[in-house]
Structure 1
Amino acid sequence: MSVENIISSWEKKNFKSLYWLEGDEGFYIDKIMNYAERHILSESEAEFNLTIFYGRDANWSEVTNACKRFPMFAERQVVLLKEAQYMKDIAKMEPYFENPQPSTTLIIGYKEKKLDARTKLAKTVKQKGELFASTKIFDSKLPEWTNQIVKQRGFSINPKAVLLLVDHIGNDLSRIDNEVNKILINLNGRKDITEEDIENYVGISKEFNVFELQMAVAQKDLPKAIRIIQYFESNPKSAPIQLILPALYNFFSKVIIASSISGGETNIASAIGVSPYFVKDYLMAARNYNIQALEMILLQLHQYNLRSIGIDTVSSTSQGSLLKEMVVKIIR
């Protein structure tokens, strides 16, 4: 079941006795847990029938005993076991999973790990409860995901604002969601998120960021590229080199693919996994750099990535100096 299906079933008062939430994307696990904590029971019911454990502090027998209790002044009780990946001997709860208390809803958050499907514990969870597996989404899907969460709240966000936000934050869904909520609070009746909103409320400069550096290099605009790098030097937290190099490598890898595809912008957008709005940028870069130059750029990015971590470079070389040297080589 998806997050939406689980929550929808709870809204209809359809509950299973066991939910096991696992995987490496904590955002969805937290979303289900937070809903369970705040909405399954009314405020008065929760006072007597909501029990929360944390894996670092609880042991399996405490949780099991809590699950075996009967609800007070309510049809059911809810037991939450958060951060269960840290609880020792969790497999000893398997006998309870085999025969759970019908009036108890036990929800287990097992972050950053997955059950071994070959074990008896995993087989019992699948047979007796609901197993929800949460996986990281691909970086290329982050703009689409961000668009969706904004749209779900009844707002819109322009393509460049999405890219600014995603490039700055990276694959951290919880942080993206929090930043979007912060922006929406400050829109004062407007329904569209712009680059100015990203700059004002997230703290990303709309002129000096990884996206603008990428465009400057694509356009072979060396003065602009150097100005952006100088801004990064003065504001080290705005764009560390470990963020810049992968972004450039990803961009020029897609430029190579775009240069080999025939057909319209829609075909190219689909092939490289970007919004059609940005296809013109990739085609412009393909016009400015032939295939040999693009392959050399990828090689240089790899070499400077090694140098950025201290391989084949002088230890005193600053990140800004490395970036300037690299950009000059690429553009000239």
Structure 2
Amino acid sequence: MAKKEYTFEEICREIRQKKFLPVYFLMGEEAFFMDQITDLIIENALDESERDFNQIILYGADTDVATIINAARRFPMMSKYQLVVVREAQMLKNIEELSFYVKKPLESTILVINHKYKTLDRRKSLASAVEKVGVLFESKKVPDYKLPGFITSYLQQRGIGIDPKAAQMLSDFLGNDLNKLTKELEKLNLLLSTQTKRITPELVEQNIGISKEYNNFELIKAIATKDVLKANRIAQHFDKNPKNNPIQMTLPVIFNYFMNLLICYYTPDKSDNSLMQALGLKGTFQLKDYQLGMKNYSAMKVFNLIADIRTCDAASKGINNNSASPGELLKELLYRILH
């Protein structure tokens, strides 16, 4: 019986080791991980000479369940496996009918269902059948606070280092569209010399268009230390460059900081390791901002500020706001935070 819960890393590791299961059902809102797994299976399941006769790529909008089942029930020609990949499977009608095949799949077929932006009802027969014989993987969005860790891990797998500040700058500026984010990382990789395989804030500033002095990373440091002058300088820079520094990107960063600060207050053990575990941090460099924050802000102040940030976010979207610009809203919020 197949394991019921697989992580992205486990799936990729087994694929590289040529350990295949009969069915991979990839679903969820984050397309990046599903496409990575699908492409990795295509690269590793068959040799190039085997693909002409043993690889079938179908698209949900142009096929149906009966065609997929018929393709999956074929036997490979001069190969151990045949590979059937269904892309855009969310477009399929009556997808639950795939369970008729999945309950008794061929061991010689690797069936990959790439089902983006939607998930199966786990109470129904298809999800249950997949879990018994293969991989049912739900690809979830990476939360904003985990993006720097994702960036660092993605680059480490490619033998590239990155400064923590540079990872945070990229996270804040590019957001959690992983396809867009990884494309920018690959661009930066091309600019690195063979001797220095490390991405620095200076490299990001020069090639992505993010100021290494005026960004959300530095704003959080200013908030943590209650550096009023620095925070207002950054806010003024943002106001003059709204295209590169929209308030809709800044407010979630501030919100996450104070939500994490609240987690720190409610963590019984305030040791470095316990706080890092509670916050999901991999490095101590970010922890300092939270430790400073606990010194400079009371728990009640943090609780009230979270409400203020929500109000500011609503106002930035035009709710109960007739005239204040995004720059004015951010400056008013920073005044509430720092005074």
Q: Using a 3 Å threshold, how does the CA distance of structure 1 residues 188 and 97 change in structure 2: closer, same or farther?
A: same
Q: Aligned-pair distance for 1:8?
A: 4.2
Q: CA RMSD in A?
A: 2.7
Summarize deviations over 1:2-38 as a string: whole Å, max 9, x none: 4444444444444333222223332221111011223
The 8 Å contact of residues 75 and 103 in structure 1, kept in 2 or not, is answered as yes
Matched residue, 1:188: 193
Select 1:204's aligned residue among 204, 210, 224. 210
Question: Does the residue aligned with 2:211 lie in a helix, a strand or coil?
Answer: coil
**Whole-angstrom distance in 2 between the partners of 1:100 and 1:257:** 46
Matched residue, 1:312: 320
Is 1:279 matched up with 2:299?
no
Matched residue, 1:153: 158
Q: Aligned-pair distance for 1:224?
A: 3.1
Q: Aligned-pair distance for 1:267?
A: 4.2
**Whole-angstrom distance in 2 between the partners of 1:297 and 1:7:** 42
Is 1:252 matched up with 2:247?
no
- Counterpart residue identity of residue 310, structure 2: H
Which stretch shows the higher mean deviation, 74-83 or 285-294? 285-294
**Whole-angstrom distance in 2 between the partners of 1:254 and 1:272:** 7
Summarize deviations over 1:38-60 as a string: whole Å, max 9, x none: 33222222223221112122222
Is 1:176 matched up with 2:181?
yes
Q: Aligned-pair distance for 1:90?
A: 1.6
Is 1:122 matched up with 2:122?
no
Structure 1 stretches of 5 or more lacking a match? none
The 8 Å contact of residues 209 and 238 in structure 1, kept in 2 or not, is answered as no
TM-score, length of structure 2 as denominator length: 0.85
**Whole-angstrom distance in 1 between the partners of 2:21 and 2:279:** 42
TM-score, length of structure 1 as denominator length: 0.86
Question: Does the residue aligned with 2:83 lie in a helix, a strand or coil?
Answer: strand
Matched residue, 1:322: 329
Matched residue, 2:3: none
Q: Using a 3 Å threshold, how does the CA distance of structure 1 residues 208 and 99 change in structure 2: closer, same or farther?
A: same
**Whole-angstrom distance in 1 between the partners of 2:126 and 2:269:** 52
- Counterpart residue identity of residue 73, structure 2: K
The 8 Å contact of residues 259 and 283 in structure 1, kept in 2 or not, is answered as no
Matched residue, 1:64: 69
**Whole-angstrom distance in 1 between the partners of 2:287 and 2:71:** 56
Question: Does the residue aligned with 2:286 lie in a helix, a strand or coil?
Answer: helix
Which stretch shows the higher mean deviation, 104-113 or 287-296? 287-296
Matched residue, 2:308: 300
Paired residue total: 331
Q: Aligned-pair distance for 1:322?
A: 1.4
Matched residue, 1:82: 87
Q: Using a 3 Å threshold, how does the CA distance of structure 1 residues 150 and 89 change in structure 2: closer, same or farther?
A: same
Q: Using a 3 Å threshold, how does the CA distance of structure 1 residues 100 and 199 change in structure 2: closer, same or farther?
A: same
Structure 2 stretches of 5 or more lacking a match? 1-5
Select 2:99's aligned residue among 82, 94, 98. 94
